[in-house]
Chain A
Amino acid sequence: MTLEQVFSASGTLAMIGWVVLIFAPRRWAWLNLVPQIVVPLALSVLYAGFILAYFADSGGGYGSLAEVRQLFSLDELLLAGWIHYLAFDLMVGGFLAGRMDRIGIQRIVQAPILFATFMFGPVGVLLAFGTEAVVRVATPRFAKA
């Protein structure tokens, strides 16, 4: 398998997780496990393999931008870094979806927030928590009124 093939396979895997998370019904626990556990774990295994095998070869590190650039100068580690994004963004998406479900945020509103998480991880996190904050603060007042 070439690196490009691994890249494309891991992308497909992540995509399956996101499609389930954004569009599928949430009533079956086994289906929810796909985006929350199964796909992130599979991607984590892939990441662990690449990062542990190639970290030393790169001569890079975490100490400065220059070291990180050195790290990513190796295609195997660039791929590992990308898989890290895929795994963690999806896990965070599952985490946010659970929080939003518990305070009753509609799936139609969850969809753009989760899409933002899929595209730009932390941007979706900010949108989700901004939404949650207002709902949590204002709902008791609303119920009282």
Chain B
Amino acid sequence: MTSTDLSTARAPSARLSLVLTGLSVGILVVSLAANTVDPRLLDGAPVWAKPVKFALSFVVLFATVAWLETRLSPRWRDGIVLTATLALMGTSLVAEMAYMMFQAAQGEPSHFNLSTPFHTFMYTVVMFVGALVLVVGIGIFGVVAACDRDARLEPGLRLGVVLGFGLSLVLTVIVAGYMGGQAGHHVGTPSADAGTLPLVGWSTEVGDLRPAHFLSLHAMQVLPLFGWLLDRRMPGHARKGIVLIAVIYCVATFAVFAGAVAGRPLIGM
């Protein structure tokens, strides 16, 4: 037997970060398929918009982690700390996406849904813990990037990873922590035919906490990218440049956050 033989050809384990990137791609494909067929709306957005956006975000998250692992020394990369971290992040990925897709299929909200004890438990315990594990996991990778002396990271890139991953943790805890304490992601009540930005669906009419959440989560891509760029364009000043960019990024995130809290849309129309 060739294609169905389970007992032979034990391959070495594939990198878990790559496997989780792949699983996220699969989830994205499935969600896009449902989004194409399903006409139902939830609060004016297609019911599958949330699973699609989250799946895409998970693809980017785990691809970034997988990239970082290529730069870490084998001692850290294959060590118990990162292996356990990724196992927990993978479990959270599955739990978060499974519940979001289950709720999308029901045509019901997943976040902010306190309608029954079950939904309350899923939102306030399962999704909360899952999200926390994911951002803390990102933070742990940031710390490892700082500690791993043998990592193949140039100075600007290393600081970009450390600050980017660190800010993703800290800013997300602040922004998403605040958002989770509210009744929903809007500040104010959008009208029935309210305008939204294309693709992302952020309100153009009232305050919307999601743009700040987006910025906080993606510091882990933006700052390493700048680090890589500065290492090439301004070697010698790369570290200073990254610190400056990190400060600007924080200020921008807080400005967007404050605007949303005050009830202003990111882009008014």
Q: Name A residues whose Cβ lies closer than 8 Å to a Cβ of B.
A: 26-29, 32, 36, 94-95, 97-99, 101-106, 108-109, 112-113, 123, 126-135, 138-139, 141-142, 145
Contact = CB atoms under 8 A, between A and B. Distances in A.
Interface stretch (B5-13, B166-174, B192-200): B5-13
Contacts of A138: 18, 21, 66
B212 interface: no
Contacts of B23: 109, 112-113, 127, 130-131
Nearest to A120: B30
A8 to B, nearest CB: 26
Interface in B78-122: 87, 90-91, 94, 98
A141 to B, nearest CB: 8
A82 to B, nearest CB: 21
B189 interface: no
Interface class of chain A by DSSP: helix
B25 A94 contact: no
B71 interface: yes
Q: Which 6 A-B pairs have the closest CB atoms?
A: A130-B26, A134-B22, A131-B22, A145-B70, A127-B26, A104-B11
28 contacts: A26-B7, A27-B7, A29-B6, A94-B4, A94-B6, A97-B6, A98-B5, A101-B10, A103-B11, A103-B14, A105-B19, A106-B14, A106-B16, A108-B90, A112-B23, A112-B98, A123-B30, A127-B27, A127-B30, A129-B26, A130-B23, A131-B19, A131-B23, A134-B18, A134-B21, A135-B14, A142-B18, A145-B70
Contacts of B36: none
B94 A130 contact: no
B3 interface: yes
B19 A126 contact: no
B19 A109 contact: yes
A95 B58 CA distance: 27
Contact of A131 (B5, B6, B9, B26): B26
Nearest to B71: A145
A15 to B, nearest CB: 19
Nearest to B23: A131
A106 B15 CA distance: 9
Interface of B: 3-7, 9-16, 18-23, 25-30, 33, 66, 69-71, 87, 90-91, 94, 98
A142 B70 CA distance: 6
A104 B26 contact: no
B98 A126 contact: no
B36 to A, nearest CB: 13
Nearest to A91: B4
A95 B10 CA distance: 15
Contacts of B91: 108
B71 to A, nearest CB: 7
Contacts of A28: 7
Contacts of B25: 130-131, 133-134
Contacts of A98: 3-6
A132 to B, nearest CB: 7
A127 B31 CA distance: 11
Contacts of A127: 23, 26-27, 30
A97 B71 CA distance: 31
B7 A135 contact: no
A95 B3 contact: yes
A103 B5 CA distance: 13
B172 to A, nearest CB: 25
Nearest to B13: A104
B255 to A, nearest CB: 36
A50 B31 CA distance: 36
B90 A135 contact: no
B6 to A, nearest CB: 4
A139 B6 contact: no
